Structure 1
Amino acid sequence: MEDRLSPADTSPVAAKELVAGRRRPRLAKRSLFFGAAFVSAIGYIDPGNYATNIEAGAHYGHMLLWVVVWANLIAVLVQLLSSKLGLATGASLAEVLRAHLPPWARWAYWIQAEILAVATDLAEFVGAALGFKLLFDLTLFEGAVLTGIASWAILSIERRGLKPLELVIGSMLAAVALIYVLELAFSHPAPKALLEGALVPTLSGENSLYLAAGILGATVMPHVIYLHSALSRSDAQTFATTSRKKLWWWSRWDVGIAMAIASFVNFAMLAMAAAVFHPVHSDLAGIETAYRTLEPLAGPFAARIFGLSLIIAGLASTVVGTLAGQEVMQGFVGFRIPLLVRRAVTMAPSFMVILAGFDVTRVLVLSQVVLSFGIAFALIPLVIFTSRPTLMGDLANRRMTNALAWTAVVIVVALNIVLMVTT
């Protein structure tokens, strides 16, 4: 039946109802598009971020908040380019690389990308296990078992399609953000100190440079570059009848909202550590120590929700890491294994590290070094490919975008080299 107003229904109220009726399907369709960026944003609040942000806040107060701000602005640009590649080409970054690389380079690229995926998952899995240990007073091994079961359960949702899984992961991102709203309320940061730390670039000695590089290394993650382009490829296929420019418009909102939430969490994490631990506990290092110290300073509830946030962030990020590894394998070598089988395989290194008794904080730091080594292999091709009109069509980067992107590449690669050298 056509949507028409009868002569009796020409009132302003009837007209508004008709317009609302037309808008609802459009809004419903647009809301179905959202989700890819929320999955990718989880990679920016994983346990590696906890380790670097807490140490930076405890050691230097609010001084390095500006690094968090700029690192997350770079991350927004990177995720926008990743999304645009998938929308414009209908292929993931791994698939585009596969099409442009000779066979020997394709296999080498796949191996290094898999190493990055394993290093990422190791940190995220161990971080979630640590959260279970702290919150429920378990052993780290028992926490790892719970992490394995919970992540397996979350991944099983993928059988119903990507969108339900995206909804679950997006909800987990929102939950962590809510917890950090509460953490800020408990820690009472000084507004003036927050503003100065966020706006005034300052460093104080070699260790502050190391921590700045660590914050950036824990922020821009190669595995979510591969994953976001793959999820956007799926969206391009699902919304094939929608124009690419409209999809790109929706994607910008998706990235903007998701990364704003992730950026807030990182900002709040460092601000909380600065307000609670600095300067009395400026020598504090490690997530476990932070948890133990937080309870007498900010109260048991603040400590409990800190542990809960670590579990949620760790679980969500280890699930995202598994998804990214699956897409990397499929994109580079055209081979796919059941997702739950891959989850079982990628859990093995984490259990070996835990059973060997390695220091958790050291594992997190070393994982960031490995990620620092691989970021250029994902970031440089991303900028090159999104700059080509022959590949991207009317979505190719403009001059200003290219200038910003290459500036970001230089900054990220340079600071990651600093992180590798100084660790």
Structure 2
Amino acid sequence: MKRTENIKHSDSLSEVHQSVDTSKRTGWKRILSFIGPAYLVSVGYMDPGNWATDIAGGSKFGYQLIWILLMSNLIALLLQSLSARLGIVRGLDLAQASRNAYPKWVNIPLFALAQTAIVACDLAEIIGMAIGLNLLFGLPLIWGISITIFDTVLLLFLLNKGMRKMEAFIVSMVFIVGLSFLVEMFIVEPSLKEIIKGFEPSMLSGDALYIAIGIIGATVMPHNLYLHSSLVQTRKFERDSKGIKEAIKFNFIDTAVALNLAFFVNAAILILAAAAFFKNGLHEVAEIQDAHKLLQNIFGNVAPALFAIALIAAGQSSTVTGTLAGQIIMEGHLKLRIQPWLRRLITRLLAIIPAFFTLLFFGDDALGGLLILSQVVLSLQLGFAVIPLIHFTSDKKTMMGFAIKPWVKVLAWLSSLVIVALNVKLVIEEISSWGADGGWYIYTIIVPLAILIGLLLVFIFIYPFIKKSRADHDNVPHGNALNIEEIEKIHYLRIGITVDFSKNDRNTIRHALIQGGKDAHYYLIHVVETAVARYHGNSAMDHETQSDAKNLEKYCNNLEELGYSSTAHIGYGGTVTAIVEISNKNKLELLVMGAHGHKGLKDLILGTTVNSVRHKVTIPVLIVR
């Protein structure tokens, strides 16, 4: 069944929904058309949070923890493939599915937790970017953090260029990271025999267990599960059984290749730390800056430069995908949609403020602790994404024959148990260490909050078992279609026309006259925006005001000659406010506005009058281009 245009706008990431057509391609081209979503997801598996845990593991325990990286990667592969399956089969992202499955009140804390996780993730990207710029160009960390706000412009540019261009940017960033570490492998010359031995599982205790928990916690990120379930919907394919099965297969290939690349990068960081630091007796290297400095001491300038370039690339690519995940979560849980640049700016500011004040009051050395804190916050949210995902993909009714097999379900629940248990352990240890300082806020705020979050996690797990599914109509984004009965002609008698004395006016006026004919009265509206008009209002008599008044009078005389009744109305100062005031004062029944068709950066500079006006008036608005 074909979907209407009206419903399409409620789809996950509707700007790029089904924007990549796979149906017209064959052979390898068809497989390649599905490649992309998992690469956007994979950058979250190689962000600065991963770097910190990998460096600490490699410097302290050599190659011993490579098997932990492999296990984390296999768990990630399983969960990301479930996320892709949900998006392909149900056409819903994880946030939308959660809104349909859980009570309305649950979605508010779910959104709050997911948004907090994205801010925490963004915090890690900001710190990584700032450290990378500092290492490469000597830029002070506080300046590096401040200028990261400008990547909002980069995101806006990429969104306007379409999904394929964004994927190409991310893949190129991932390629830079991978290539940088490949070259570094040749420089540090690790022991191949010891690397192979590192894949052998071993008993962990003490610091090794703690770092292993950190590696797993930093590897599987909650926002990636939301992101992947949405990104797979950018591919257009036949919605029959064969098409869905093929899409699941090709997306699994995409996921496997991308996450193996992420595994290579993480393993390369750990191996680099083992070969460069552990081998040379430097067992306490946990800070990214220390790793860079030691690389310079041991191997000269090339290795540390590549290290810094890779760090910047990883941070920049992760920040783009974090914004997309934020948009998905807000639209899915709350049905609230705002401009991507605005939500990017809000998320970035929420992340910049703690980083900025940490540097200001505690100095550069405190950033490492802030990075660890961001990973703890991420770990808190993980269960709220993993548990619903397994529930949704196990449901035979909603998955229409594509529910996961029992053995996959067992593996998924075991994986979630390992992740949640280890992350809970990490959180308890962190809270205990904070409690040792004796702060009153630990027992009055942090502990009660952690208990409430824990109870919510239990509810999220139990609820789908006791209430299998909510009413089907919950899945309809805008409600059900109404019966269209006999239509009576609408006669507009008071029509407003906004004019700006450009070549577009003729077309705008023509459309307005068609709507009302000679029975209606027309209100020609123009707003003077000079500094004098903004300050003095209707008492302004500057040259532009006088010129505009004469032009409006010409339009009125011209319409009178043609047999139409009209009056001129001049507004002053803010365009939107003035148009709305004139519309309300004259009790207009229809407003006809001309649109210039500018978008992207021009919208930010010139403003979006039409869009703002239509939200503030209660009458129909006809937009003429």
Q: Could you tell me the TM-score, scaled by structure 1's length?
A: 0.91
Aligned to 1:252: 252
Greater fraction of residues in helix: 1
Give the 3 Å change call, closer, same or farther, for CA 183–312 of structure 1 in structure 2.
same
Structure 1, 240-249 or 263-272: larger mean CA deviation: 240-249
Aligned to 1:263: 263
Q: Secondary structure at the match of 1:91?
A: coil
1-side partners of 2:402 and 2:160: how far apart? 32
Aligned to 1:325: 326
Give the 3 Å change call, closer, same or farther, for CA 25–397 of structure 1 in structure 2.
closer
Structure 1, 346-355 or 302-311: larger mean CA deviation: 346-355
2-side partners of 1:154 and 1:299: how far apart? 35
2-side partners of 1:411 and 1:261: how far apart? 23
Q: Aligned letter for 1:416?
A: N
User: Cα offset for 1:24?
Assistant: 6.5
2-side partners of 1:210 and 1:421: how far apart? 12
- Is the 8 Å Cα contact of residues 55 and 273 (structure 2) preserved in structure 1? yes
2-side partners of 1:289 and 1:211: how far apart? 18
2-side partners of 1:333 and 1:233: how far apart? 20
Q: Aligned letter for 1:315?
A: Q
Q: Could you tell me the TM-score, scaled by structure 2's length?
A: 0.62
Q: Aligned letter for 1:78?
A: L
Matched, 1:275 2:282: no
| Identity level (%) | 37
Matched, 1:218 2:218: yes
Matched, 1:395 2:402: yes
- Is the 8 Å Cα contact of residues 63 and 202 (structure 1) preserved in structure 2? no
Q: Which of 1 and 2 has higher RCO (CA within 8 Å, sep 6+)? A: 1
| Structure 2 unaligned blocks of 5 or more | 1-23, 431-625
1-side partners of 2:153 and 2:199: how far apart? 38
1-side partners of 2:25 and 2:394: how far apart? 36
1-side partners of 2:156 and 2:304: how far apart? 28
2-side partners of 1:402 and 1:350: how far apart? 36
- Is the 8 Å Cα contact of residues 133 and 142 (structure 1) preserved in structure 2? no
How large is the RMSD of aligned CA atoms in angstroms?
1.7
2-side partners of 1:350 and 1:110: how far apart? 17
Aligned to 2:384: 377
2-side partners of 1:187 and 1:303: how far apart? 11
Give the 3 Å change call, closer, same or farther, for CA 347–395 of structure 1 in structure 2.
same
Greater fraction of residues in strand: 2
Partner deviation per Cα, 1:61-103 (whole Å, 9 max, x = no partner): 1111111110111111111000001001000000000011111
**Which of structures 1 and 2 has the bigger CA Rg?**
2
Q: Secondary structure at the match of 2:401?
A: helix
Q: Aligned letter for 1:273?
A: A
- Is the 8 Å Cα contact of residues 156 and 340 (structure 1) preserved in structure 2? no
1:239 to 212, 237, 240: 237
Partner deviation per Cα, 1:314-368 (whole Å, 9 max, x = no partner): 1111111111111100111111111111121112133323332151111110011
2-side partners of 1:338 and 1:150: how far apart? 15
Aligned to 1:5: none
User: Cα offset for 1:163?
Assistant: 2.4
Aligned to 1:32: 33
Q: Secondary structure at the match of 1:348?
A: helix
User: Cα offset for 1:25?
Assistant: 4.4
Partner deviation per Cα, 1:173-209 (whole Å, 9 max, x = no partner): 1221111111211111111111111223242x31111
Q: Secondary structure at the match of 1:199?
A: coil
2-side partners of 1:84 and 1:393: how far apart? 12
Give the aligned length: 399
Which stretches of structure 1, 4 residues or longer, exceed 4 Å deviation after superposition? Answer: 23-26
Aligned to 2:485: none
1:51-62 equivalence runs, <5 A: 51-62=52-63
- Is the 8 Å Cα contact of residues 76 and 259 (structure 1) preserved in structure 2? yes
Partner deviation per Cα, 1:26-76 (whole Å, 9 max, x = no partner): 433432221111111111000000000001111111111111110111111
2-side partners of 1:327 and 1:260: how far apart? 25
- Is the 8 Å Cα contact of residues 152 and 341 (structure 2) preserved in structure 1? no
Matched, 1:413 2:416: no
2-side partners of 1:86 and 1:35: how far apart? 15
Aligned to 1:338: 339
Partner deviation per Cα, 1:216-237 (whole Å, 9 max, x = no partner): 00000000001100112332xx
User: Cα offset for 1:418?
Assistant: 1.9
Q: Secondary structure at the match of 2:92?
A: coil
